[in-house]
Amino acid sequence: MPRIQNDCINTIEIKKSKFITYLHRTQNEQEAKDFLKAIKKEHPNANHHCTAMIIGNIMRSNDDGEPSQTAGHPMLDVLMHNEMQDVLAVVVRYFGGIKLGTGGLVRAYSSSVQEALKVATLTTVTTLQEYQIHFSYDLIGKVDHYFRTQNIEVIEQQYEEDVVYHFLVQDDISKDLMELTNGKIQIKYIQDIETECVI
């Protein structure tokens, strides 16, 4: 599930109303409340500070004075549709004098969050498996060629009695390495490592 890498701010204007969207990565509700408090302090004259958040299994939204289900819920729908995780969206609205109607508000708040997501840097957590292999020096060419063609990065190399490589992969390549070396390789699974990658 995607997360935002860093806080993101994006502004759109619809019929003279300004919608400023803040996307904030958060791990818990208290952190989200503290961030909202800071935004309200930064924009004390705004008409609305609508919110939507997804933290683990917790999903909440707030219309902050807009007609029911026209702000927070549509914002939450956008976050859910994009499968976002650990995020608080705050849309600050400065009313421009032209009423948008309920449908217009739903579109405005949805668009605000969608546009912010377009400019945000998103990441995802991937589980990689760490392995260690031992093999004889005469297999270096074959093993290195295989690693290059599979885009596998060796994170540690040791050249002792045998060659020792440590590397991370998403899928188990033990069978491939055994076939490549005619079984003349020792493969040891070390651990699973979660890593965050930009998507």
From the list 181, 137, 188, the residue with the least C-alpha distance to 162 is 137
Residue 26: the pLDDT is 96
Domains of the chain: 3-120 (3.30.230.30), 125-198 (3.30.70.240)
Determine the 3-state secondary structure of 80 from DSSP: helix
What is the Cα 16 distance to its own chain's centre? 32
Residue 151, by phi and psi: left (phi above 0), alpha (psi -120 to 50) or beta?
left
Residue 197: the pLDDT is 86
Helix axis angle, 101-119 to 72-81, nearest 10°? 40
* E strand or H helix at 54: strand 48-55
Residue 195: the pLDDT is 86
From the list 33, 7, 31, 6, the residue with the least C-alpha distance to 21 is 7
Alpha-helical regions (H) of 13-149: 29-42, 72-81, 101-119, 140-149
| Token pair listed for 99 | 């009423």
Residue 71: the pLDDT is 98
For the segment 86-97, what is each residue's pLDDT rounded down to a tens digit? 999 999 999 999
pLDDT, one tens digit for every residue, the chain (199 residues): 899 999 999 999 999 999 999 999 999 999 999 999 999 999 999 999 999 999 999 999 999 999 999 999 999 999 999 999 999 999 999 999 999 999 999 999 999 999 999 999 999 988 999 999 999 999 999 999 999 999 999 999 999 999 999 999 999 999 999 999 999 999 999 999 988 889 8
| Number of other residues whose CB lies within 10 A of the CB of residue 171 | 9
| Number of other residues whose CB lies within 10 A of the CB of residue 185 | 20
